[in-house]
Amino acid sequence: MSPRTQFINFRASFQFKLFLIFTLLTALMAVLFGSAYIVTEIREQSIYAGDRCQLIAAHLADTVRLPLFAENRTVLMQIAQDIARTPDFHSLTVRTNDGRVLAEMRKPISRSPSELLSRTVEVRSTPLGSSPESAIIGSKEPVGALIGTVRLDLDTTELKARTQRLIMMACATAFLFWLSVSSLCYLALRQVTRSFNALMRGLESMQTGNYAVRIAPVSNDEPGRAAGAISLLAASLQEREEENRRLQQQLVDAMRLEVQKEKQQIMAKLIQTNRMTSLGLLASSMAHEINTPNGAIKLAGQQMAKTWKSALPILERVAEEEGDFVLGGAVFSLVRGEVTKATEVIARCSERIEKVVQDMRAYNVGGHSDAKGRVNLNQVVVDALTIIRAHGRHGNIVIQTEPYPELPAVTGNRYQLEQVVINLILNSIQAIPESRNGVITIISGYDSLHGEVSLVVRDDGKGIRPDIMSRLMEPFFSTRMESGGSGLGLYISNFIVTEHRGRLVVESEPDKGTTATISIPAAGDAGTPGPDAPPAPEV
């Protein structure tokens, strides 16, 4: 384990949290006691320096009393020179009671007033009974006449230096105290948390599923006893796990018989999947084979449309001059519209074949079709019923439509939505027994409140059992698997509707029929109808 990882694990441990708490408390105590000591010592030093200055000044006042009374400058200067030998002396001034300076002594080094300690003492004709305590404390005894004053200034530089040394020594002592106590706390916590660490290592091993591990108690304290209890719990869990394995094996053996029953159904689905894969490969090759003749048909249709468009004015003039004539086995007045429609049908069907081929290729390579066109679901129903006519299995079934007038368009893929409608209609046709007639109703609508276009396909067939309803959208699930059903119709339809940001809901009651409802959001301008679509005819 790298040092970085060890440090990260240590930071996340309970030992680090305790160590941090003790360290911060020790640092706080060291700072408080150190600060109190420094403040007390500074105050004591200041008081001592003031008392010393006061004592010296009072002693000078007693010494210079007679020379000051006699105004003997020589003696006063001699006394000033003796006092100047004091290490922290700065200046001395002796004045008479009328303010005249008789003696003054000053060191050449100048100090700012903030670095000087000054005391001024009055010189009086005090009797010999004056006490030293009165001189120290500077008590004013109204004894004797005022002769003059003595002003003494002492340099406090040395005092400040001693104060700084005192602060540094106190800070160093507090730091060493904090460092020593923190080290001792770390060693003590390391010893105390040994049981916790052993307990956590055992729990981490059990967390991985290794219940065979046993935690050896390091001490007889609470964590040690907890380790013993957890070891007993691990033994119980290990026995329980072995029992569960035996029960699971018995359950697996019992389920194998049931699995055999489902094996045939699963194999049938796998066979169907293989068929779908083969069908995809066949569709890919067919797409290539269909695309070539479809291109020729499309080109021929375009050329025929251009030719007919050019020849139509000439034929109309001939009909005006010579009367209606026979063209292609029918009179020109009837052929004119039919040929125009036929060219349009050729172009539309060719485009549809081309689109189907593109979708087949995209599906085969896992692509997605463009779903950004505007589609009218009424027209989708018309195109779907056109394909249903070719199916041939609805002779006894009536398909009736109820289109919504001016139905708004939806954004999507026209051919995919057409596939959905075809799947739903074919499911309804297959749900109606051949022995009786049936009715399939297709209703389109628009919900302006939610901005959704809906399409409902309802039949009166045999319905769907409740136990099957929950599996309708599953892939490869079909109740007609034996008769060729793929089980992909509703699954693909639901997928397409979901891709169009819509939903497909199927409701059914046995022997009463089934109703499938498609709801898709209308296009951006939902209030605007889509392309005009003629109502779907009844089939």
Average pLDDT over residues 17-27: 83
Q: Measured between alpha carbons, how far is 85 from 99 in angstroms, rounded to an integer?
A: 26
Q: Kind and range of the H or E element at 198? A: helix 194-207
pLDDT of 127 higher than 80: no
pLDDT-derived band of residue 409, with 50, 70 and 90 as boundaries? very high
The arithmetic mean of pLDDT across residues 207-222, rounded, is 63
What crossing angle do the helices spanning 194-207 and 157-192 adopt, rounded to 10°?
Answer: 50
3-class DSSP state of 69 = helix
**Is residue 117 within 8 Å of residue 153, measured between CB atoms?**
yes
Counting other chains too, the contacts that 103-106 makes at CB distance below 8 Å and 24 or more residues apart are 103/64, 103/73, 103/76, 103/77, 103/79, 104/80, 105/77, 105/80, 105/81
Which stretch of DSSP H or E encloses residue 513? strand 513-521
**246-253: long-range contacts at Cβ-Cβ below 8 A with a sequence spacing of 24 or more?**
none
Tens digit of each residue's pLDDT (9 = 90 or more) over 425-456: 888 888 888 777 888 999 999 999 999 999 99
pTM over 0.75: no
Helix, coil or strand: residue 264? helix
pLDDT at residue 457 in the model: 93
Helix (H) or strand (E) holding 489: helix 489-499
* Ranges of H-type helices in 326-478: 332-364, 377-389, 414-431, 466-469
In this model, does residue 385 exceed pLDDT 50?
Answer: yes
CA atoms within 13 A on the CB side of 406: 5
Mean pLDDT, the chain, as a whole number?
77
Q: Who wins on pLDDT, 471 or 171?
A: 171
Task: Give the torsion through C-alpha atoms of 258, 263, 266, 267, to 10 deg.
Answer: -170
CA 354 distance to own-chain centroid:
46
Instruction: Note the pLDDT of residue 429.
Output: 86
Residue 529 predicted with pLDDT over 50: no
Q: Pick the residue with more confidence: 332 or 374?
A: 374
Q: Is the pLDDT of residue 208 over 90?
A: no
- Helices assigned H by DSSP within 110-156: 132-137
Tell me if residue 267 falls in helix, strand or coil: helix
Q: Are 513 and 460 in contact (CB under 8 A)?
A: yes
pLDDT of residue 30: 86
pLDDT grade for 403, boundaries at 50, 70 and 90: very high
d(CA 68, CA 150): 10
Q: Is 513 left (phi over 0), alpha (psi -120 to 50) or beta?
A: left
CA-CA distance, 35 to 43, in Å (whole number)?
Answer: 12
